[in-house]
Amino acid sequence: MTGDMAIGEKALLLDSKKRRYLIDLAEGGEFHSHAGFVSHNDIIGQREGVVVKSTKGSEYIALRPTLEDFVVEMPRGAQVIYPKDLATICMLADIGPGVRVFETGIGSGALSMTMLRYGAEIVGYEVREDFANRARKNVQSFLGADAFDRYQVEIADSYAGINPEHGPFDRVVLDLPEPWQVVPHAEGVLRAGGILLAYTPSITQAVRVRESLKGKWIDARTIEVLHRGWHIEGQAVRPDHRMVAHTGFLSVGRFLGRN
């Protein structure tokens, strides 16, 4: 999106300590914090990068949020998959324009909106209606209503099966406690050469997934993504004291077909 920031858009406010605040711009709206408040009208109609002051003199830089910003700051009902894993999932599962994806365990929609941003067409199953509604709202909030042309969420239990009328699919992406239970159902809707990927918090879950990817599956592997930032200040260079280490395991395999 280009041009000046407008009513109805999201804005990201960065303060001097690099703290980030996500707001929805509204005529006459106000952002309140310990440093006073900032009028939305000071941002609306301005270019990205404008510096605005609060009533107590604190300065904020206003920008449009990136997908990473939104995923980290968005409203959530369930624990989200973090950006370091989202990007890797889309690479391992080869997500791209026109790819049909079956996703189960929608949660707050972080993975959905990432795959939609890559151009995928998604049918998602979620057992909790409140999570499904939150995911839809988050997708619409960041990507707009047009995203629903490629995003269908069903209140359904993938452990019980996958409706064949929703298939066939090029990819199956699983984010739920026992993804190995869905593998036999995935075999009924996934095309030959298709990819299945499961996100699991624990290695014991990953082992169960790998055990289920036998016979009709090939090229199975499991990885973990560790994300470490670096502190660079002039010639003073060192790794950050904190890093985003373990969040989950990504297990992936390719389907050889039902014959």
Write down the pLDDT at residue 3: 81
What's 221's domain CATH number? Answer: 3.40.50.150
Looking at the fold, whether 81 and 59 belong to one and the same domain comes out as no
Domain hosting residue 33, numbered range: 10-65
**Quick one: CA dihedral 35, 39, 44, 47, positive or negative?**
negative
Q: Name the residue among 78, 259, 103 with its Cα closest to residue 175.
A: 103
What's 29's domain CATH number? Answer: 3.10.330.20
Looking at the fold, whether 126 and 213 belong to one and the same domain comes out as yes
The answer to whether the CB of 172 falls within 8 A of the CB of 190 is: yes
Looking at the fold, whether 41 and 145 belong to one and the same domain comes out as no
In a domain? residue 153: yes
Write down the pLDDT at residue 74: 84
In a domain? residue 240: yes
The answer to whether the CB of 199 falls within 8 A of the CB of 175 is: yes
Write down the pLDDT at residue 1: 66
Query: What is the 3-state secondary structure of 196-237?
Result: EEEEECCHHHHHHHHHHCCCCEEEEEEEECCECCEEEECCEE
Looking at the fold, whether 47 and 160 belong to one and the same domain comes out as no
In a domain? residue 143: yes
Write down the pLDDT at residue 35: 87
Looking at the fold, whether 44 and 149 belong to one and the same domain comes out as no
Number of domains in the chain: 2
In a domain? residue 4: no
Looking at the fold, whether 91 and 182 belong to one and the same domain comes out as yes
In a domain? residue 27: yes
If the chain, 259 residues long, is cut into consecutive pieces of 10 residues, what is the mean pLDDT of each piece?
85 92 93 91 94 92 94 81 95 98 95 97 96 94 94 97 96 98 97 98 98 95 94 92 90 91
